Amino acid sequence: MAEGVEQRTRRTAPSGLGEMLNRARLRTGWRRREAARILGIAPSYLFDLEVGLRSPSVTVAQSLADGLALTDPERAALLAAAVADAGPNRPIRPAARDVVRLVKH
pLDDT in tens, 8-20: 555 778 899 999 9
Q: How many CB atoms lie within 10 A of CB 17?
A: 20
Closest CA to 38 of 78, 9, 67, 4: 67
Report the mean per-residue pLDDT for the chain.
82
Q: Which of 4-13, 26-35, 54-63, 69-78 has the lowest mean pLDDT?
A: 4-13
Residue 10 falls inside a structural domain: no
Domain holding 54: CATH number? 1.10.260.40
Residue 9 falls inside a structural domain: no
Backbone angles phi and psi of 8, in degrees to 5 = -110, 150
Residue 76 falls inside a structural domain: yes
Model confidence over 46-67: pLDDT tens digits? 999 999 999 999 999 999 999 9
Residue 31 falls inside a structural domain: yes
The three-state DSSP-derived secondary structure of 33-101 is HHHHHHHCCCHHHHHHHHCCCCCCEHHHHHHHHHHCCCCHHHHHHHHHHCECCCHHHCCCCCCHHHHHH
Domain tally, the chain: 1
Give the span between the Cα atoms of 42 and 28, in whole angstroms: 18
